[in-house]
């Protein structure tokens, strides 16, 4: 609705913008360290941490370096991390058996982090693409079709494996139908009733994921294939709301919209419609674009990054996964 300012000059909105302290007092949205989740990559090799060329300043950590990084995060008061594994090619197969190995990379590192930093929240990725020889998030048949229910059976095993290791939140990012309900039932039957589920409920088939797939070493396995038969088309909004509604009905405690900046309309609609804790993922492509633009002197990095996250908060995001979490924590201090 449009209004005509019949009260001018008595009403001057610019007065509320005249001084910094006034702008801060009347700010409708703010960002704090408590809003931040730091995504981290860990590899299973007995080698140094590895530079990810497509993601400047982000590393594939070895286990020891990951633990050192967790210590730094605790010092910065960052409340939670999201861990993504990078497993050796010889551990990948069509059945993703390594994804639920109790002695595998993820259960091992979850246990070690919890033992040393119990106050640091851990979110684990529940998906098969780091473990499949073809790079898809699901098991495929001879025709290359994703087998939904077969995949869900393995996702249940993976989530239970992580819960047994002590993870706080499992985050199914695969977009298989029915997986939230199946995982919730599996966790509850095993008495993990307090293990939260963060559902990647509105995960789009986005072109912004390239650097991430490079980071987890699934890009070459995926090849020329894509994930459009299970991730949402970026043409659709109502379909995303349907996905979110189903995940909530199946037992999701929080929901995720991914990517972030190009999907703020979806974040807003999800928050307005469902009022559930709504997380936003500032994905690898968004991060790399900001980082490269800053390195080339095209933007003020700190100001542009903070603006991008405040926009996510304004749209309704409660927490944000961002590779800038450490920088932001330092800037906010």
- The rounded distance, in Å, linking the Cα atoms of 132 and 225 is 13
Give catalytic status of residue 53 as yes or no.
no
Residue of 258, 271, 291, 313 marked active site: 258
What sign has the CA pseudo-torsion 10, 12, 15, 18?
negative
In whole angstroms, give the CA distance from residue 128 to residue 96: 6
Residue 26 exposed, middle or buried by CB count within 10 Å (0-12, 13-18, 19+):
exposed
CA angle 199, 248, 145 (to 5 degrees): 55
Handedness of CA 130, 135, 139, 142 (dihedral sign): negative
HSE value, Cβ hemisphere, 13 Å, CA-based, for 49: 18
Q: Which of 236, 172, 182, 179 is nearest to 204 (CA)?
A: 236
Determine which one of 63, 92, 156, 203 is catalytic: 203
203 is catalytic: yes
Nearest Cα residue to 192 out of 168, 174, 211: 168
Q: Which residues are catalytic?
A: 203, 258
């Amino acid at each position: 609705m449009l209004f005509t300012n019949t009260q001018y000059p008595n009403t001057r909105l610019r007065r509320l913008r005249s001084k910094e302290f006034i702008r801060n007092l009347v700010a409708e949205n703010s960002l704090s360290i408590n809003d931040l989740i730091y995504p981290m990559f860990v590899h299973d090799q007995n080698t140094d941490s590895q530079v990810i060329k497509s993601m400047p300043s982000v590393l594939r950590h070895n286990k020891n370096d990951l633990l050192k990084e967790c210590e730094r995060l605790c010092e910065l008061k960052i409340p939670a991390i999201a861990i993504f594994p990078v497993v050796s090619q010889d551990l990948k197969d069509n059945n993703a058996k390594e994804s639920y190995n109790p002695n595998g990379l993820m259960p091992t590192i979850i246990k070690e982090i919890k033992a040393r930093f119990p106050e640091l929240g851990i979110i684990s990725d529940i998906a098969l693409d780091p473990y499949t020889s073809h790079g898809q998030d699901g098991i495929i048949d001879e025709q290359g079709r994703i087998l939904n229910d077969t995949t869900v059976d393995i996702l249940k095993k993976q989530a239970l494996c992580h819960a047994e290791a002590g993870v706080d939140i499992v985050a199914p990012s695969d977009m298989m139908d029915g997986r939230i309900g199946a995982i919730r039932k599996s966790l509850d039957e095993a008495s993990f009733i307090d293990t939260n589920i963060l559902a990647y409920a509105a995960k789009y088939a986005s072109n912004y994921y390239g650097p991430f797939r490079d980071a987890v070493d699934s890009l070459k396995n995926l090849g020329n294939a894509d994930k459009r038969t299970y991730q949402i088309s970026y043409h659709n909004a109502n379909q995303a709301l349907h996905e979110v509604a189903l995940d909530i009905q199946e037992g999701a405690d929080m929901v995720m919209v991914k990517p972030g900046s190009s999907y703020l309309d979806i974040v807003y609609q999800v928050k307005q419609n469902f009022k559930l804790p709504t997380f936003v993922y500032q994905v690898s492509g968004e991060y790399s674009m900001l980082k490269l633009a800053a390195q080339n002197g095209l933007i003020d990095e700190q100001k542009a990054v903070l603006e991008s996250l405040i926009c996510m908060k304004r749209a309704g995001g409660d927490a944000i996964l961002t590779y800038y979490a450490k920088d932001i924590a330092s800037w906010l201090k």
